[in-house]
């Protein structure tokens, strides 16, 4: 499996040329296939690996676009159309395997995969869908002893570098003699730390942190439109009406301007008061929460809360998947992942007023924020109220001497606003 430097998903971008040849090629010699899930079995309600294989059995360079599409979910839980679009550049006689995180739900259709060039389909395949409800235990290496539930035996080299792909497992057991690459160890640590599942055989942090949906919804309410003080609104309105009534008589006389001189300053003052206390609601509000826990520095756990009052398509840099709480319905209508020259980009179509929850495992950051030390009775210093979901996630695991680095930014463009809250939890020893 080929990988491109700087990309966590194997070959989530252009397939590099191994050689350059000449000559034409026949359409029948280009093949595409793949499977969904681990060893062809997908777990419903989880993000599963989607492996797509492209073969160029011709004597010419293959430059094409890979498309994948699936209708996800059911009528009672909400349906989503998932799409993938990735450019492929493959040498003559070349073969590559591409791996993507792909959410799966019960009642979904099979995945249609098409390789096209110039608007014409070069190859097409329909991937079978084999769903399971119970999560298996993944064993990396030799299986030791019996197991009470389903088990999936993997080679240690098959452990993914992306924590999202570990979602179908209830636990991962690494055999004592198994060699696990460092990047796969980092993925296991991040998956275990942020509530993915249990990991045995690889040292992982004991604390499990996660962002609760109730905390995220509360944060969204606090970042909404500010309500003006009722007393000031009523008082200002009464003053404005009183001045207007008093000025009506001078205004009715063309030769006297005292009415205008009295009414105009009052009108301007009231307009200024209204613009300060009653803001125009933003068309799109986005809250991004990122957390890095101690001993897990390569990955951050990122949550995104988006509400669009006008609806339509929301575009976000990176590879994000929708968070669906058990028993709830999906918010997204169409989710598209497109690979561009700047990396992956996620587009989500939502209805007006809907609140969308997305998540991913992001890259750890090196920028330093404002440091807050944890004392005997909690953290010392003033903390922005917007950090409440992050503080709630780590609050039960903090001990005296820990440090929290906090960073906050706000980006406003037109009627859209994007708030970013980041927390790094550090512990000595």
Q: Of 25-39, 333-347, 356-370, 404-418, which range is least confident?
A: 25-39
Q: How many domains does the chain have?
A: 4
| Domain extent for 261 | 230-277
Token couple for 124: 């097409």
Residues 109 and 242 in one domain: no
Tell me which of 131, 160, 186 is where a domain ends.
131
The residue whose two tokens read 């990991």 is 199
Residues 376 and 269 in one domain: no
Tell me which of 74, 104, 131 is where a domain ends.
131
Residues 293 and 234 in one domain: no
Query: Is residue 328 a part of any domain in this protein?
Result: no
> What is the per-residue pLDDT for 259?
52
Quick one: which of 14, 26, 19, 32 has its CA closest to 93? 19
Cα–Cα distance for residue pair 296/110, rounded to 1 Å: 36
Query: Is residue 14 a part of any domain in this protein?
Result: no
Residues 269 and 161 in one domain: no
266, 130 in Cβ contact below 8 A?
no
Most confident stretch, 110-114, 154-158, 175-179: 110-114
Residues 36 and 93 in one domain: yes
Residues 44 and 166 in one domain: no
Tell me which of 82, 102, 131 is where a domain ends.
131
The number of beta carbons lying within 10 Å of the beta carbon of residue 423 is 25
- What pTM does this model have? 0.79
β-bridge partners, 413:
416
pLDDT tens digits for 28-65?
489 999 999 999 999 998 999 999 999 999 889 999 99
Residues 84 and 149 in one domain: no
- The helix (run of H) or strand (run of E) holding residue 30 is strand 30-36
Please report which confidence band the pLDDT of residue 72 belongs to, taking 50, 70 and 90 as the band edges: confident
Residues 72 and 91 in one domain: yes
Residues 403 and 299 in one domain: yes
Say whether pLDDT at 21 is over 70. no
Residues 261 and 161 in one domain: no
Residues 81 and 61 in one domain: yes
Query: Is residue 336 a part of any domain in this protein?
Result: no
143 by DSSP, 3-state: which?
coil
CATH code, 103: 2.60.40.10
> What is the per-residue pLDDT for 366?
79
């Amino acid at each position: 499996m080929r990988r491109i430097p700087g990309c966590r998903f194997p070959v989530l971008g252009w397939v590099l040329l191994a050689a350059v040849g000449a000559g034409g090629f026949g359409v029948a010699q280009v093949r595409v296939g793949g499977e969904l899930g681990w060893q062809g079995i997908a777990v419903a309600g989880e993000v599963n690996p989607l492996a797509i294989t492209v073969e160029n059995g011709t004597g010419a360079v293959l430059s094409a676009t890979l498309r994948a599409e699936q209708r996800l979910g059911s009528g009672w839980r909400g349906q989503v159309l998932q799409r993938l679009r990735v450019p492929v550049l493959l040498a003559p006689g070349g073969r590559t395997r591409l791996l993507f995180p792909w959410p799966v739900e019960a009642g979904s259709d099979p995945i249609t995969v098409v390789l096209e060039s110039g608007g014409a389909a070069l190859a097409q395949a329909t991937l079978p869908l084999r769903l399971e409800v119970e999560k298996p235990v993944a064993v990396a290496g030799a299986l030791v002893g019996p197991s009470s539930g389903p088990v999936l035996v993997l080679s240690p080299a098959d452990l993914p570098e992306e924590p999202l792909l570990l979602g179908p497992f209830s636990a991962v057991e690494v055999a004592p003699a198994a060699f696990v690459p460092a990047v796969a160890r980092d993925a296991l640590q991040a998956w275990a730390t942020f509530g993915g599942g249990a990991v045995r055989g690889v040292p992982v942090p004991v604390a499990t942190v996660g962002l609760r949906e109730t905390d995220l919804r509360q944060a969204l309410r606090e970042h909404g439109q500010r309500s003006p003080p009722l007393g000031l609104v009523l008082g200002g309105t009464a003053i404005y009406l009183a001045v207007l009534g008093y000025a009506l008589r001078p205004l009715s006389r063309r030769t006297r301007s005292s009415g205008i001189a009295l009414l105009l300053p009052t009108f301007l003052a009231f307009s200024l008061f209204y613009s300060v206390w009653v803001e125009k609601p933003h068309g799109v509000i986005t809250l991004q929460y990122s957390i890095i826990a101690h001993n897990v520095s390569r990955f951050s756990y990122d949550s995104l809360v988006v509400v669009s009052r006008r609806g339509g398509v929301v575009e976000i840099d990176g590879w994000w998947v929708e968070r669906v709480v058990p028993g709830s319905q999906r918010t997204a209508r169409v989710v598209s992942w497109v690979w561009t020259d700047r990396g992956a980009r996620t587009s989500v179509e939502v209805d007006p007023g809907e609140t969308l929850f997305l998540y991913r495992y992001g890259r750890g950051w090196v920028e330093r924020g404002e440091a807050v030390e944890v004392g005997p009775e909690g953290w010392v210093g003033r903390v922005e109220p917007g950090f409440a979901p992050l503080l709630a996630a780590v609050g039960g695991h903090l001990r005296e001497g820990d440090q929290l680095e906090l960073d906050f930014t706000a980006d406003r463009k037109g009627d859209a606003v994007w708030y970013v809250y980041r927390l790094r939890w550090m512990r000595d020893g």
